[in-house]
Structure 1
Amino acid sequence: MNPNNPLPANLFRRQDETPDAEFYHHPRFVTHIDDRAIAAVTQLYREYFPPNTDLLDLMSSWVSHLPAEVPYRRVVGLGMNKAELAANPRLESYVVQDLNQQPALPFADAEFDGAAICVSIDYLTQPVAVLRELARVLRPEAPLVITFSNRCFPSKAIAAWHALDDRGHLALVQQYLIAAGGWHAIELFDRSPLPPGRSDPLFAVVARKKAA
């Protein structure tokens, strides 16, 4: 068993195992959840990311859904498509990196005050390794906000994601964090806009970096 991914390998198989760099080569200037679900993401960021802090937007794109009225000291993005990242007005800087090929993050220990993964956790084939790295680069008690819906690129989402329902997805992400270590105060949320069925659902797992 791979110590960087202690969960069974068959959970992380995908319908399309061609290199992700090929799949994400062309920019997609679209949003992957609807406006009401995006608003729910933004509200979570208001609640967990204080102003004037250093944030990491992991698996980022051309929009970060951060609240427009909140100033942050620095926002760094890491994603797969250079054109999308370059178009994101909230990013001070960005890194193009395939986390499924290289889960190690190119950042210093305790560099950030918070991190976000928005509607992308279902594509990670080495999520435990990535979350372990995130714990390394966050400062003690810094929040990690992971959000997801019921929409995805089916061919690139892992087998476990397809096999589970919404509650199962929450439990799976919680298990990733436990397996990674370095996290505590894990909270599971259903932030789906009301009334149900009129917009995309929105779920979140929030955890904090353990103090040394």
Structure 2
Amino acid sequence: MSALVHIVDGDAASQAGIDRMLRACGYRTKAYVSADEILSQIPSGEGAGCIVMDAPAPDSSIPDLVSLFSKAGVSLPVIFLADRGDVRAGVRAIKAGAEDFFTKPVEREEFIGAVDRAVLRHQIANEQENWVRMARARLDRLTRREREVFDLVVRGKMNKQVAFEIGTTERTVKAHRHEVMKKMQVRSVVELVTCAERLGLLRPVIP
């Protein structure tokens, strides 16, 4: 399914023009007339996408709007469009966390390029979030002893060292290690370490 672009623009003619441009490039679209409307229908479960939004007036209120989206749980990248704008307005928007800023009428190739980048970034972020959620669920299935083995193995401890630290036999450690690998769905210690790193579980050890 193609990505969904949410268009927020109270000007029907402007909204229709952006809609046609996006649909011609294979995007699905959904229209809103105001920020309040999209906030009342917070996009969720739509997969990758972004928001293309008419910039509020004055431009100085852009940071407040971006913050409002963030607080409402809207993770979609936002591209602002303005009837008129200056360099300061664009810089203000980017510093506030907007994906990009354009002055109408937009240059088609440049605008679609920005939408493509925004959608790709959102897709990557979603995939990372889904991976972390699944990995944490697998981690939660480890028993207390398996978690101890996991923590030591990803820090480079050999079976013999792990056995000494947790007070058991090397044979038992091997059994626990096998279960850890199976439950975490990895095939090597390298993959297990990578998993721990991506979950933010590896921190410098201070003597």
Shorter-chain TM-score range: 0.3 to 0.5
TM-score (norm 2): 0.36
TM-score (norm 1): 0.35
Higher relative contact order (CA closer than 8 Å, sequence separation 6+): 1
Select the structure of larger CA radius of gyration. 2
Greater fraction of residues in strand: 1
Greater fraction of residues in helix: 2
